[in-house]
Amino acid sequence: MFLAWNEIKKNKLRFALVIGVLFLVSYLVFFLTGLANGLANLNREAVDKWAGDGIMLTEDSDQSLPQSFLSIEDADSIDAETAVLGQLNTIVTSGDLKQGVAIFGIDENEFITPDVSEGELFSDENEVVAADFLQEEGFEIGDTLTLSSSDEELTIVGFTEDARFNAAPVLYASLETFQTVRFGEATEQNADQVNGIVIRADDLSALDAPEDLAIVDTQTFIENLPGYTEQKLTLDFMIYFLFIISATIVAIFLYVLTVQKINMFGVMKAQGISNGYLARSVVAQTFILAAVGVVTGYVLTLVTGLFLPNAVPVQFDGVAMAIYGVVLIAVAILGAIFSVLTIVRIDPLKAIGA
């Protein structure tokens, strides 16, 4: 540490540049992580919110909620806590405001009912509780919403936090309201139709689904949301490649720095300073540089998050970022190992020019 720290103190600009590179790499990793997290949440917020272990859908629906049609009575065949769910996508308009939404038809007595953060829960026909994203977009309690797919009008009576499904903000309504919007004049004939039945059970595999229906665990259901897996894999790959690229950059940087010091290390070895001491010094120096770079990246990412508009789907997970930070530091130290190998191979005889 003595050698490492003194070298950094003497060559402030050089090491500030190295830290700058490490900071930029970590900033990019953290930001992409936040973006991946935000985009993932954009798709799954409402699903996470209902805190179910699985969902029952028709087999033919290919695990897609909008393509699944089943009866409310199907819930009776499941020996577990259940909540019925109707879902449709539409566009709502209120004055100049227009927004694509997902309407969830639910039974307010079942566990899927959201906590209301502002206003109250729907209690009458055509009343809805909206995702707070709509509030951020300018919608207010009392607003009347016209729908692109129905002549019905809905009224916002409350807001609930973090409720988006497949990137669309959710409007929670009673099953009756949902059926009216969905089936119009044919509501009565379809009064028992829902899209899925959310299940809470310790062991989903112990449950028997009725014929033509299938129970899907929540994670599989989320992974099958349109575009979710593709989007997540793309961002995950970007992050993993970034790790590889950052490891390479750090390794090259440290290697170049070490090569510049070969003569000095050789002289030190001639004087009897061991490979172990020099190796520890290089690793300690890498740790200092990487830690400062990563911590700076961490802090500035969080600061950046404070200034981003709501439209940017970024959500920072402090714990996940901390883990990525530790991995980045570990990767940097791995890069330093290559430099250590160079040190071990230095012939002190050549270094002193004998």
Partner 1 sequence: MTVLELKQAKKTFGTGHKKVEALKETNFQAQAGEMIAIIGPSGSGKSTFLTIAGGLQTPSEGDVVINGTSLAKLNEKKLSKVRLNEIGFILQASNLVPFLTVHNQMMLLKKVKKDTLNDQELEELYKDLGIEELRNKYPSDLSGGERQRVAIAKALYTNPSIVLADEPTASLDSERAYEVMELLQKETKSKQTTTLVVTHDTRLIDYCDRVFKMTDGTLREEDHTPKEGTAHE
**Would you tell me which residues interact with partner 1 (CB under 8 A)?**
2-3, 6-7, 9-11, 264, 267-275, 277, 348-349, 352-354
Give the amino acid at 206. Answer: A
C-beta of residue 48 within 8 angstroms of C-beta of residue 181: no
Closest to partner 1 by CB, 6 vs 248, is 6
Closest to partner 1 by CB, 82 vs 285, is 285
Size of the chain in residues: 354
99 contact partners, CB below 8 Å, separation of at least 6:
91, 92, 134, 137, 139, 169
CB of 261 to partner 1, least distance (A): 9
Closest to partner 1 by CB, 9 vs 185, is 9
Closest to partner 1 by CB, 270 vs 327, is 270
Give the amino acid at 90. Answer: T
Identify the three-state secondary structure at position 315. Answer: coil
CB of 277 to partner 1, least distance (A): 6
CB of 276 to partner 1, least distance (A): 9
Closest to partner 1 by CB, 64 vs 275, is 275
H helical segments located in 69-131: none
Identify the three-state secondary structure at position 128. Answer: strand
CB of 262 to partner 1, least distance (A): 13
Token pair for 324? 């990525």
Give the amino acid at 55. Answer: I
CB of 332 to partner 1, least distance (A): 21
CB of 2 to partner 1, least distance (A): 5
**Within 10 Å of residue 29's Cβ, how many Cβ atoms?**
25
CA atoms within 13 A on the CB side of 130: 26
C-beta of residue 176 within 8 angstroms of C-beta of residue 125: yes
Closest to partner 1 by CB, 11 vs 67, is 11
Q: With the C-alpha atoms ordered 36, 42, 43, 48, is the resulting torsion angle positive or negative?
A: positive
